[in-house]
Structure formats: C-alpha cells, structure tokens
C-alpha cells in the first residue's frame, strides 16, 4: 500500500523526502523546482527519518525566503507549512529518536552518559503546566522558534497557543528521553505512552491506512489519460479534442501549483474554495474564466471517481468534494460586444480582398463571414473537402483523422454565392491536393493580422472566431429555418435528429436556405 505521508516520495522502490520550492524562491535554490533527501529503500526506516529530513529541507526553503526578502524587501510569509501542536510534538519526538539512533551508531560513548534527572523533573513539571513562561522558554523555546522559522507555527510567546505548544513539546521531549533509557537497556521496541502523543501516532497511522491511501499516487494527469483511453474505446462520453486536453492540462498545472500537490485523491473542498478566493482576489482573470477552471477540475475529479467506482472519495461515493463548491456568478454580457459591426466586418473583408499572396488572410475571413465556421474548422480544410452537387458547391467540415469540431460532428455547408463570385471556388481548383491553408499557428497569425491591420486601434474589437460567427448567425434570421441554421453553424439542438440525414436531398434544401442569408458586403 502506498504511503500517505505528505512529503514522502516513492520512486522505484526507494524513498525520498520531497518538498516543492515556491516559484519566487527557486532562483535562490539553484533554480530547482523541488528539494529531495534520500531516505533509503526500507519504508519503516524512511518514515522514521522523514520528519528530520523534511525539517532540514524546509530550513533550506526558509533560508532562501530570507534571501528573497533581503533582495526584494518583501515580508516573509508566516506559517507557510502550518502544523498542529500534536503534529509538531510528534515531529519533534521522531527527530529526537532518529538523532538518538545516529549518535548510537556514531560512538559507544553516547550510551554511557546518564539521563539528567533534573531535566526529567522539569519536563514533567512542564507537562503538568506548573512552569512559568520563562522556564518553558528555557526548556523548549529553541524548539518552538525552530518550528516558527520553518513556517509550522505563528504562536506568540506567552499566549495560550504558545503554552499549548510548549506543553506538547515537553511531552515529546520526555517521551524521547524514556525511549533513550529503554534503548540503553537494549530495548528498541518502545512507543509513546502519553495519551496526547500516542493519539497523534494513531491518527498518523490511521491516515496511512485510510481508504484513499491506495490512490496516493493517482495524479490528475493519470485520470485524464485514463479518460482519453476510455473515450477512444467508446466509453465514458465523447472523445476529448486536442484543444480541450491542452486547456485541461493548463488548468491542472495552475491548481497543482496552488495546492502544491499533484495527488487527486487528497483534494478537499477547502482547497477548492481557497483557489477560487485567491483567483477572485487577484482579479487577473474574469469570473467566467474562474468558473470554467473550477468546472474543469470538478469534471476531472468526477472522471476519477467513476473510474474507481466511487472509492476515490469514499465520503462522497456519488460525487466529489468539488460538487459542493460554490462557483462565482457570471455576468451575462450583451452578445453585441462579441460581434463585429457591419463596418468592422466590411473593413476586414476589404483588407482581405487586397491580400494577393497570403491565402489564409485572403480567404479565411470571407469563409468565416459567409459560412459561420470557426477559425480552426476553416484552417483544417483540404481541397477534397470542396465538392459540387447539381450546380451547388459545398464545404465538407469533417471529423476524424486528426480533425475535430466543437460538437464532435461533421457537417456540409453550402457555399454562398458571394464566395463563388469572389473567386473562392476558382482558388480551390487552383490548389494542389492537401490543406488549402498550410502552415503553423495560422489562427494566431490571423488574429494578429486583423488587430494590427484592418482593426488597428480598435482595442475592444472581438476576436475573429466570435466576431464573424456571431454576425453570420444574425444573418440567419432572414427566414432561414431554425433547423438549417443550427446545422450550418454546427450547433447541437439537443435532439437525436442532429445525427440523422445527410442525403443529397438535405444538401439541396440547405443550399436553398443559404440563398436567404443576408449579405455582409
């Protein structure tokens, strides 16, 4: 069974302590993205050494943070790695036990030294709460300060929280001395006896054997990869397009960076809320984009839950923690803000008409304006996709063989007479077999050409994908039937009839409907 310990990493049978370095601190740690400390091949030994190794690694991060503060003047983030008093006590205990073993392995003189009875008495007084703050500071203040430097606590000297932590550390110190005495007699089987420390050990062991432990190595990327495999077999819904996969992986990276973990099974509602609130507070992206990101993570978690038959999140077997996450409200904008005005459309089409060498700039804007195609659909057209039927020309927007559409369905669009008159068919017939608009990053170059050329100075102009498509859909209001309009633009009506038809009769009727579309230019 895989380990549930937060910073424990298993790679090919060998264990490591690992922590991720915050991006701003990486220049101060040789530009590394993470720190690792080898713990050996034995799991029990690795767990025993883990706390000490993690503390050392976090100490290096803390040093880097101070260097960054000196360089930029920014304050150090307190409590970066918060732990409860019991967790710090257990960590302190494990460190003491591990250090005891190191000293015994280093020299026989260590085991000859007797335990300080006065120290034992003071620790017992500390556990009982009978020591004043200054005496507690003398006993365990250095340990508290060390945990503060590591970002594990922000307690203030003399506060109730500070005394609670001091008492917990007295317990761990006393228990560690007890194990040392037992080891002096050759007994290495002892475990913590004080109820508070014993409870912390039980909780950690229970966490290690929790149902989600078997999914400890499951990452978001693994869930997505499995979903891709299933959909290719015809299971689990529609196949994911390359653009969707790219978007999901970008969102996954953002979420993993925020929570500093790739493990999907440990996601909590609180992490989702914290990520949502951080993005809202930062204000760099719209509420719609934030909502889309949260929805994407929820979709991936839902896939993982289904893939593992509800065992990924046993507390919510019919859902995921993100099912309870409140998504931000999205302001519905007037569609006119995402649609070209007639003046903008005509300016772009006039500029495109003037292009004589760059065929993508010459014809893609005209195709968008008179077919309603998306930019990606137009750019993947081949010469063979343009065909004639009883005097009418059609564009076959295909899916498969690396091509896709938003609805995962192909369609055949009648070529508007304006495009024929403009010379599009003649252009197609002059081209060799293959792509009509070969090249890479053509969609990006098209946007750059529009905004630096015909639409230069119009900062609020919508992108071509929406600008022309929405304008074409408005042109369909001129007596074009709703069914024809939905089919031509590649939108789903939600009816099973969407997948029917495709005969010559249907195409000829679509051509008749296309004649009703109003002219842009």
Kindly report, residue by residue over 28-41, the tens digit of the pLDDT.
Answer: 888 888 888 888 88
Residues 218 and 168 in one domain: no
Domain count, the chain: 4
- The pLDDT value recorded for residue 210 is 46
Q: How many CB atoms lie within 10 A of CB 243?
A: 11
Single out the residue in 270, 296, 324 at which a domain terminates: 324
- The pLDDT value recorded for residue 6 is 72
* Chain mean pLDDT for the chain: 83
Residues 435 and 350 in one domain: yes
188 has pLDDT over 60: yes
3-state secondary structure of 18: strand
Residues 139 and 181 in one domain: yes
What DSSP assignment string belongs to 272-305? HHHHHHHHHHH-SS-HHHHHHHHHHHHHHHHHHH
Per the domain annotation, does 521 fall within a domain? no
430 has pLDDT over 50: yes
Residues 352 and 501 in one domain: yes
Residues 275 and 193 in one domain: no
Per the domain annotation, does 205 fall within a domain? yes
Per the domain annotation, does 333 fall within a domain? no
State what percent of residues in the chain have pLDDT above 70: 89
Per the domain annotation, does 519 fall within a domain? no
Residues 361 and 498 in one domain: yes
Ranked by mean pLDDT, the top range of 210-214, 380-384, 456-460 is 380-384
Per the domain annotation, does 329 fall within a domain? no
Single out the residue in 35, 56, 77 at which a domain terminates: 77
66 has pLDDT over 50: yes
- The pLDDT value recorded for residue 211 is 44
Mean pLDDT confidence for 250-272: 88
Residues 391 and 347 in one domain: yes
In tens, the pLDDT along 6-36 reads: 788 887 778 888 888 888 888 888 888 888 8
Mean pLDDT confidence for 59-88: 71
In contact, 373 and 468? CB cutoff 8 Å: no
Residues 22 and 51 in one domain: yes
Residues 367 and 493 in one domain: yes
Mean pLDDT confidence for 420-444: 89
Residues 148 and 9 in one domain: no
Q: If pLDDT is split at 50, 70 and 90, which confidence band does 442 have?
A: confident
Q: Which structural domain, as residue segments, surrounds residue 43?
A: 1-77
- The pLDDT value recorded for residue 165 is 94
Per the domain annotation, does 240 fall within a domain? yes
Rounded Cα–Cα distance for residues 454 and 253 (Å): 36
Per the domain annotation, does 86 fall within a domain? yes
State what percent of residues in the chain have pLDDT above 90: 29
Q: Which of 74-83, 137-146, 290-299, 350-359 has the lowest mean pLDDT?
A: 74-83
Residues 36 and 140 in one domain: no
Mean pLDDT confidence for 146-163: 86
Residues 86 and 203 in one domain: yes
Per the domain annotation, does 509 fall within a domain? yes
Mean pLDDT confidence for 149-169: 88
Rg (CA), the chain: 33
Q: If pLDDT is split at 50, 70 and 90, which confidence band does 209 have?
A: very low
Single out the residue in 292, 324, 356 at which a domain terminates: 324
DSSP 440: S
| Burial (0-12, 13-18, 19+ Cβ within 10 Å), 456 | exposed
**Which CATH number covers residue 362?**
1.10.443.10
477: CB partners within 8 A, 6+ apart:
none
In contact, 415 and 386? CB cutoff 8 Å: yes
């Amino acid at each position: 069974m895989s380990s549930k310990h937060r910073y424990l990493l298993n790679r090919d049978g060998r264990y490591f302590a690992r922590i991720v370095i915050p991006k701003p601190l990486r220049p101060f740690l040789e530009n590394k993205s993470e720190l690792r400390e080898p713990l050996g091949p034995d799991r029990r030994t690795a767990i025993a050494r883990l706390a000490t190794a993690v503390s050392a690694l976090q100490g290096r991060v803390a040093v880097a943070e101070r260097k960054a503060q000196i360089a930029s003047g920014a304050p150090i983030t307190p409590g970066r790695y918060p732990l409860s008093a019991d967790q710090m006590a257990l960590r302190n205990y494990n460190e003491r036990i591990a250090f005891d073993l190191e000293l015994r392995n280093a020299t026989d003189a260590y085991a000859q030294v007797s335990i300080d009875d006065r120290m034992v008495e003071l620790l017992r007084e500390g556990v009982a709460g009978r020591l004043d703050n200054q005496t507690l500071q003398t006993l365990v203040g250095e340990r508290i300060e060390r945990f503060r430097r590591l970002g594990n606590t922000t307690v203030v000297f003399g506060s109730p929280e500070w005394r609670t932590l001091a008492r917990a550390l007295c317990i761990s110190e006393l228990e560690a001395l007890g194990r040392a005495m037992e080891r002096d007699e050759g007994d290495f089987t002892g475990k913590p006896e004080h109820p508070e420390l014993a409870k912390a050990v039980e909780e950690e062991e229970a966490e290690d054997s929790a149902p989600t432990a078997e999914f400890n190595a499951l990452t978001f990327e693994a869930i997505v990869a499995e979903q891709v495999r299933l959909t290719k077999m015809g299971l689990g819904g529609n196949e994911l397009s390359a653009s969707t996969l790219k978007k999901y992986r970008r969102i996954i990276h953002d979420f993993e960076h925020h929570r500093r973990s790739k493990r999907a099974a440990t996601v909590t509602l609180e992490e989702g809320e914290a990520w949502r609130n951080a993005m809202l507070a930062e204000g760099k992206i719209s509420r719609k984009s934030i909502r889309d990101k949260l929805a994407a993570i929820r979709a991936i978690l839902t896939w993982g839950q289904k893939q593992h038959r509800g065992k990924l999140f046993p507390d919510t077997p019919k859902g995921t923690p993100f099912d309870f996450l409140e998504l931000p409200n999205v302001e519905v904008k007037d569609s006119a803000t995402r649609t070209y005005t007639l003046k903008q459309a005509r300016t772009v089409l006039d500029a495109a008409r003037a292009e004589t060498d760059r065929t993508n700039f010459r014809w893609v804007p005209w195709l968008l304006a008179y077919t309603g195609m998306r930019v990606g659909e137009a750019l993947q057209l081949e010469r063979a996709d343009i065909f004639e039927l009883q005097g009418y020309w059609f564009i076959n927007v295909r899916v498969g063989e690396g091509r896709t559409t938003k609805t995962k369905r192909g369609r055949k669009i009648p070529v508007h007479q304006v495009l024929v008159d403009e010379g599009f068919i003649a252009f197609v017939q002059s081209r060799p077999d293959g792509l009509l608009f070969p090249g890479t990053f053509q969609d990006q170059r098209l946007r750059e050409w529009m905004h630096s050329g015909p639409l230069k100075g119009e900062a609020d102009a919508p992108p071509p994908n929406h600008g022309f498509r929405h304008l074409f859909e408005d042109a369909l209001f001129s007596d074009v039937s709703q069914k024809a309009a939905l089919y031509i633009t590649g939108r789903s009506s939600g009816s099973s009839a969407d997948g029917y038809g495709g005969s010559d009769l249907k195409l000829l009727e679509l051509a008749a409907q296309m004649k009703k579309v109003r002219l842009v230019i």
